[in-house]
Amino acid sequence: MADSGEGLIVSFGEMLIDFVPTVSGVSLAEAPGFLKAPGGAPANVAIAVARLGGRAAFVGKLGDDEFGRMLAAILRQNGVDDTGVTFDAGARTALAFVTLRADGEREFMFYRNPSADMLLTAAELNLDLIGQAAIFHYGSISLITEPCRSAHLKAMEVAKEAGALLSYDPNLRLPLWTSPEEARKQILSIWDEADIIKVSDVELEFLTGHDSVEDEVAAQLWRPSLKLLLITLGDKGCKYYTKDFHGAVASFTVEQVDTTGAGDAFVGALLRRIVEDPSALQDEKKLREVLRFANACGAITTTKKGAIPSLPNVAEAMRLFESA
């Protein structure tokens, strides 16, 4: 476990079960069977932080069912504080059927009508826990429907008032939104609150309307309130923007098996390092090292199936980090 004096990273949002075909490269209809894999981006980030020796907590709602209890147990087994988790007796834990196409990309089919995570209310938030956050991390899926949307906005407000850095990974899942326009509007509605934002190249195109990762396109997402804007480029690494400097950091070459959780591993590693030394946000040399480490963690995650089992520990990350 991490030193108790180190800053706490609190992750807010959904935790669910991905059902993944036992064979790769088939459609959901063709799959002969499925394995259950715990997931949900904010939960993956919390576990990524804990696996790298950081202090992490997860805040969200699960169904009061076997799957929900299983997910809470997985958080605890991985060293994540689950005192912010509540259970809903009337709704199920969310499920997603995920298929890995032959090229390693994913297709999703969600079962959430409504699932427990969508029913979290502001009154159910563990405000003491949220108020202890050095970094408060969240996505955009929790903005889709009430009452969870109000709970999300309240949690952000409490964390910000307590002095936390706010970290946002929109983690676009278009099938969950009523329309692309609504997704874009809501994802951008909280843009100005964040200190750190990470988007993928695909999300950059969705939010700006430009199929390019050039600096002038990224500039459309920059805000003076931001401390760091990151664009991840898959196996090509990432680009970073702060008010004083910007650049790119290449990734590591690995044999990719499954990209699930790579972005979450990247974010977890980034936040773990920033909570250790926040000055990296103003120091380009330090930031580049942090991002190389985050790239290494993301790359390792793609070499194994499933998100949580493939998140690296420090020793694994440093082996790849020092190999190049």
Annotated active-site positions, please? Answer: 264
Strand partners, 197: 168, 229
Tokens representing 192?
Answer: 């100005």
Adjacent-strand bridge partners of 20: 35
Where b means 16+ CB within 10 Å and e means fewer, 225-262 reads ebbbbbbbbbbebbbbbbeeeeeebebbeeeebbbbbb
**Residue 263 identity:** G
Q: How distant, in Å, are the alpha carbons of 43, 91, 136, 163 from that of 152? A: 15, 19, 11, 17
Q: Torsions phi, psi of 27, nearest 5?
A: -75, 165
* Rounded CA separation 286/280 (Å): 5
> Is the C-alpha dihedral spanning 291, 293, 295, 301 positive or negative?
negative
